[in-house]
Structure 1
Amino acid sequence: MIGRKSLSHKSGSMEVISSRLKRSKGEVSSTTISKEGQDIKEMNSFLEIISLTDKSEAAKRNIRMENTYKMTPDKLFKPHEVEKVAERILKDSLGDSEYDALQCRSLSETLSSKILEEIQSLGYKRYKMVCVVSIGSLKNKPGMQFGSRCLWNKDTDYFISVKYSNASLFAVAMVYGLYFD
């Protein structure tokens, strides 16, 4: 290895990392540590180092927005609207799908993203939305209970829970709408 220090040189590894991270201001830079010519990034992506040392452009301009002092939203969270959206997306996406344990994680993330996108289009400004979708198998008739506890404002914050099942699987979508003042 010419001109490149590896992890075996413990004292020099921090110098290599810091030299790679020194870039022009405002630029995000990343690097991976190499070991004997192999790129560790391919084996373990958690070893990637990202430096966000400089402030963003908005922070540099130091823009101060005036407080609105709004304690209630312009449009209240309507659980029945959100429930219809979640039911439709679960029904359309899952239909007569078969349960596959390997695909459930990515499928639940995808469904959660779809539900959130659709809800955002309903115009709930100043609401933080959280959506959790769980998918499981109906094989051997499992018993499941979902529970949650929240500390919120009873006048502005809401949640909905939607269940869907077919012959092979079940899905539960929980959406929380929290007013952000």
Structure 2
Amino acid sequence: MHLQSIEEGKAPLPLSRRSSIMSILNAPFSSRRNSLAAGGRRLSVGPWMHCGRVSFSGLPVFEPIRETHYENTYKTQPDKGCRFNASQAQQVLESVLNSYIGDAKYNPANSGQLAQTLSDLIRNRVKELTPPHYKLVCNVFLGQQANQGLQIASQSLWDVENDNFASATFTNSTLFAVATVHGLYFE
């Protein structure tokens, strides 16, 4: 594809890498040089960054990002005295449930959001007391108190020596809540 010259009778200039999208293709090189000498700026096409190394095309060369490699510790159990404490977690569960829904009324429109908020709050409070390398799973069941029978069960596969759980129940005249936190050792 050849571009038509502005002036009749002159052959069009061949395309080269020197010609950018922003420069005037049909102007002779001397007039472009004069426009730069007169204080004009030559517009660049790409984003230019100030870095030490530049490729042949003039673009900056980026160093590859080095990844951090972690090695396995091959620990299968926590250090002595660094286990999930179920009694402390139990106290946190009871205090959060009593303080946040102590006098609350059951509302089906916002009960899902309330259960999610309670679960996040309990998980954050128990995480402060939990030693490192433990994963926490927190569940909150919230429902209307209507003299019905309800049984909640949980089942999990875990290490009996290192993993543990805590559970607390709260009831008032309009709602009930059952909160459970499982602390699982993970290396």
TM-score bracket relative to the smaller structure: 0.5 to 0.7
Rg comparison, structure with higher value: 2
Is residue 121 of structure 1 aligned with residue 128 of structure 2? Answer: yes
CA distance in 2: counterparts of 1:91 and 1:169, whole angstroms:
12
Percent of matched pairs sharing the same residue = 38
CA distance in 2: counterparts of 1:61 and 1:89, whole angstroms:
44
Q: Where is the strand percentage greater, Structure 1 or Structure 2? A: 1
CA distance in 2: counterparts of 1:123 and 1:149, whole angstroms:
21
| Counterpart residue number, 1:22 | none
CA shift for structure 1 position 119: 0.9
- Aligned pair count reads 121
Is residue 107 of structure 1 aligned with residue 114 of structure 2? Answer: yes
| Counterpart residue number, 1:93 | 100
Match of 2:66 among 61, 65, 70: 61
CA distance in 2: counterparts of 1:113 and 1:82, whole angstroms:
14
Q: Deviations over 1:99-150 (max 9, x none)?
A: 11111100000000000100111142111100000111112x1111111211
SS in 2 for 1:160: strand
| Counterpart residue number, 1:169 | 175
CA shift for structure 1 position 64: 1.1
| Counterpart residue number, 2:23 | none
CA distance in 2: counterparts of 1:164 and 1:70, whole angstroms:
38
| Counterpart residue number, 1:50 | none
| Counterpart residue number, 1:152 | 158
SS in 2 for 1:90: helix
Matched letter for residue 155 of structure 2:
R
CA shift for structure 1 position 62: 2.2
Q: Deviations over 1:17-70 (max 9, x none)?
A: xxxxxxxxxxxxxxxxxxxxxxxxxxxxxxxxxxxxxxxxxxx52211222222
What stretches of structure 2 of length at least 5 have no aligned partner?
1-64
Normalising by structure 2, we get a TM-score of: 0.62
Runs (4+) of structure 1 moved beyond 3 Å?
none
| Counterpart residue number, 2:38 | none
Aligned alpha-carbon RMSD (Å): 1.1
Normalising by structure 1, we get a TM-score of: 0.64
Q: Where is the helix percentage greater, Structure 1 or Structure 2? A: 1
